[in-house]
Each structure stands twice: as structure tokens, then as C-alpha cells.
Structure 1
Amino acid sequence: MKAEPLENPQAHPSRPSQQVVRQAIHWLLRLRNHASAPTLRRQCDLWRAAHPEHELAWQRVQSLHSELSANLRAVPGAHIALDTLENSAQRLGRRQALKLLSGVVLVGGAAWLGKDLGWQTWNADFATATGERRGFQLPDGTRLELNTHSAADLDFSAEQRLITLVRGEIMLTCHRDPGRPLRVQSRHGLFEGLEGRFVVRQDSDCTRLSVTSGSVAIRSHPGSNGAPIQVTAGQSYRVTSSTATLSPSLDMDADAWVDGLIVTRNMRLQDFLNEVGRYRQGYLKCAAAIADLRLSGVFRLEDTDKLLAILPRTLAVRIRYRTRWWVTVERLA
């Protein structure tokens, strides 16, 4: 579902109130209990459209519910507890169900789920679960795409267009807005795009910028001495806490994930598995002896198990499943 973010964030709180969040949870429960009721769906749509704060709360509740479900179902046996929770919520009255779901949110933030979800995800304006990709149309016409396990905040006003990358990876397709350039803030720098298409990926140790069309300025980063760096179409930069360096030719297409693909060119097997691992739960590695094997090709992301099953067709390897969540790639004997 696409969302229309806030056209004037200063006209109301940047975070939805607790009351509005609980209303969003209430609508979510009602729709889950009566999925085939078109009248109820229309009523929910009207509630969402009544105020930007309603839509913001709805998107956050949807994002949290999606990731909560994905993470719980990734744990062996946890699906039983989750199904019990969902079935119990359906049988409870409105007040009890709200209390139950709110309790799940609070407990999830304090337990092991909190490590993966984090309150940053709950507070973020836009977020995706592991393996999920979502697109949004922003008020100025900019297209925002979020890759797997990503989150971003939006701060648009008459004076600025600012997106803060909380985690993960985004792609932006933006248009020129005189006097109000589009800026992306990551932990490692500030990136400014006037017009074009570019990808920003925030890893633990660096932020990677890849420009597909147009140009982007690396406006500031530690060690830049205030001098912006112009990045043109076809170029990629790696920005750390102290440097910004031009990357050599990439071994994968930086924006292919938007189309649900990984496109590689002579990529190391271990690096490839690291990429695939971003879209699935659990452990995915290969033996050190075959980490440097190379592969090229186009791989679809919608089913990572099917993707892995393709590897033995091109490499002398086998896929070993200890469990669904513990997978290793080994040399074929």
C-alpha cells in the first residue's frame, strides 16, 4: 500500500499521539477479523484520509506488524505462539485486543525482537521488514524506494526537503525544486540531489552512494573540510567517518533490487551470499575454501531458497540445510 506522507509536517506533531496509534491498532484488528468486509475497508480508508497523523500511525502499525510477524515466524516453533496470539486477539473484545497487541509491541521492544526491530523502526516514518521492499510517492513528486530491513524519516517544509536514513538502503528519483534541494542524511554524511536517480546504502562502517542518472553532491562528511564532492551518473562513492573515496566498478547493479533482482558481474561467492542474506532470516555462509569463487548472472529475490538452488548449476557447490534458518554452501565432493 502506498502512502502520502505529510505535506506540512509542522502543522501537527512529527510523531502520532498514543491515542491515534491505538486507533490504528483498532482498525488493523477489525480488518483482520473481517477481511472480506468492503464497507469496513472504506471506513478505514476514510479514517486514514481524515488527517495526515492517521495515515502516519497506520503506516507505522502496519510496518511493525509486518516485521513482528516475519521475525517471529523465523524462529523454530514460534509460529505456534504467533498463531495463538492472533487467534486470541480475534476472540477478545476491543479493549482486551488493544491491550494484548500493545503489550506485544512493548515486550518486543524489550526482548530479542528489539535488537532487530528497535524503537527506531517504530518511530520511523517509513520502514520495511527483512525481505520486504516498498515504494512511496512523496508530496513533492519524489519517488522513495526502501530496500529490505530499512527505515527512513521525512522532514519536508517550505524551506527544506530532508530524508534521514535510519538504517538500510533507499533509492530516490527526484525532480528539481529551485531553492529546496533534496537532501539525505546518513550517519556518515549529507547527500544532496537536484534532479535524477540515486541509491544511498548505510552499512555499519560506511555509507555507499551510487548515482544512476543526474548528479548528487556529497555535501558534508567528517574530513571533507566543507568542500562538496560532485558525483555524476555511473559513479559510486564510499563515505566513512573520515573519508569519501570513489569506488571502482561495482560487481553488482546498485539499483537492481528495486525490480526484485540481484545482478552480478564476477562477484565473489561470499559477497553474493552476504547480499542474499539481507533478504532472509537466519545464517547463510559458505566454506572459506570456496569464498573466492566467482559468479555472474541475474537472480530473482522473491524466493531466496529457489535462488540458492540455482548455484549448483553454475558452480561446483552444494547447498546444505541444517535447518531452514541455518544454510551453508559447500564444495561439491
Structure 2
Amino acid sequence: MPVNRRITLAARPVGHPQESDFALDEVDVSSPEAGEVLVRVLWTSVDPYQRGRMSEAKSYAPSLQVGDVITAQSVGHVVESNDRRFSVGDLAVGQLGWQEYATARAGTVRPVPEELDPQTLALHAVGMTGLTAYFGLFDVGKPRAGDTVVVSCAAGAVGQIAGQLAKIAGCRAVGIAGGPEKARDLIELYGYDAAIDYKNDGVAEALRGERVDVYFDNVGGEISQAVHRRLNLGARIVICGQVSQYNAERPELSFHPGLLIMFRARMEGFLVFDYAHRYDEAARKLAHWVASGKIRWREHVTDGLENAPRAFIGMLNGENRGKALVKVAERAE
């Protein structure tokens, strides 16, 4: 059997992660048991939620322990199967981690349709970030045609899809991103109606003429404070992420509960995993919108599993343009 290279947690990050917080090691690959598949990972994902899993703070999922493989959505092909649902050569996506080979229960991974092109879409627009945008916007935000939808971290993997879904729903989409290039992407690539560069523009001033019906919050902090002051009556605030707080030793409060009374607003957090029974429904719609050109996307690719920590740190620093992915291997013919 081949050797499995993997990236593990070497130390819990204090503040901003460092490359020294990760380790590259090698272990033997073992054959899958009954009901399992062995997957050769081809692509793996880099996402903000991984920072929370490295902390010991109580959260919605167990913390990684020092020595654990870094959790991540990955796409790969099945090289050995002990479950009738998968055959050798099938493409699969699941929480397979930053590693070259992963053994998983067959029920915890999903097949990737061969017609999906490129198949890395299963890691973003038609994968977990697309599903997050879909359920967060439509089920929690409940947009109505004519609403104004504001999305923070709008050029990120979830934000770029959320804004395009808002447009599909007949809404005005306003995106907040960092830097002039990302602000241009919001308009020219993702079809937002307006873009705010929070690094160079005052967010509160830029929103002065807006009345926000749905706020899709990926970031928290000062940006969210500015948006909250522009809520419309009956606004819905979707709490998807709080990326500005993930490296903070003491997160800052970004919301005054009295605003919910003033604007008769609703604030709700959600986890995409709660909608697992509807993944197929949403994935079909997302794939259709991608194929028809209604959803556009961009990937930011880093080559080599050993460079996953660097890609992760860069993503947290906002260095990526598009969905951050790591290419682990070529698919064997």
C-alpha cells in the first residue's frame, strides 16, 4: 500500500495562525473495512471555519486535537471500495481532510457527477459553500423581489454565491469586500449592483442611502456594526460567519439587541449541516444556474498538499481572489 502524506495540527494557534502550527507527516495507508471506501484526494479546500476547529473554545463541532489531520472538504477518486454504493474510479466529495488518502464511511461521502465541469465545483459553487449560501439566503434570509441584500466578505467563497442568488431572487445586491480588485470583481464578475471596498471606503457612509432588508453576515465586527445602522423595518440578519473575530483572543461584540426592537428585525444563525436532507435539491439548482451562466465563479489554486497551511493563512489574510483550493494530485486515467 502507498504512504499517506497529511497535514496535522502541530500546535494550537494563538492569534493569527503560523506555518509552525502545522506539521507534514507520513503514515501507512490501510485498506477500507466493510462499509468504507479509500479515496485518493485530488483537491482539498481552505475555509475560514477551519480556524475555529483549531481552538479549544466551545463550538458547534468538536475541536481538533494536536496531531489530528486538518479537517476539510476534499474531492478524490475511489481507489478501493468495500461498499456497493461506490466503485473503484468513482469521484467522491466529503470531509476527507488535508491528506493524500482518506478512509471514510461510504455514507459520509457523496458522489460527484461526472458531468460537473470542472469537478472542483463540488468544493464551492455546487458544494458546501454554495449550499451554505443557498440555505442561508433562501431559508434564513427569506428574500423578496425588490429587497436590498447586503453581503459582507462578498468576494469570498460563500459571499460570491450569496450575492448572485440574491440577484436570481430579484433583489438589489450590495457587496462589501477588501481592496479595489475584489470590489471590481463584485460588479464585473459576480453581478452585484454596488460594491463597497471596506479598506478604502467608509462602510457606514457608503451605505447611507441604503435600507437593508437582508444582511448576509460573514464577517462581524465593525463592518457589521455599520450595516446594522442601515436596517429596514422587518430586516433579516443571517449569521453565517464571523471571520473578523476568528483570530481574536477576546472577540468584540458587534450588535446591540435594541436594534432588533427598533427595526422589528430578526437575527438568526445557521449551520449548513442542518439541511443535509436537502443537499440534493439545492445542488441540482446550483448546478443548473452554473451551467446556464447565472452563477459565475473563480478559483484561487495553490499547488501541493505541503502548501495547504500557507494557502490557509493567506485566505485568512484576504490574499485569495475566488475560492481557495489546494491541488493535491492529478486524476489517474
TM-score normalised per structure 1: 0.27
TM-score normalised per structure 2: 0.27
Question: Comparing both chains, which one has the higher relative contact order based on Cα–Cα distances under 8 Å and sequence gaps of 6 or more?
Answer: 2
Higher fraction of strand: 1
Higher fraction of helix: 1
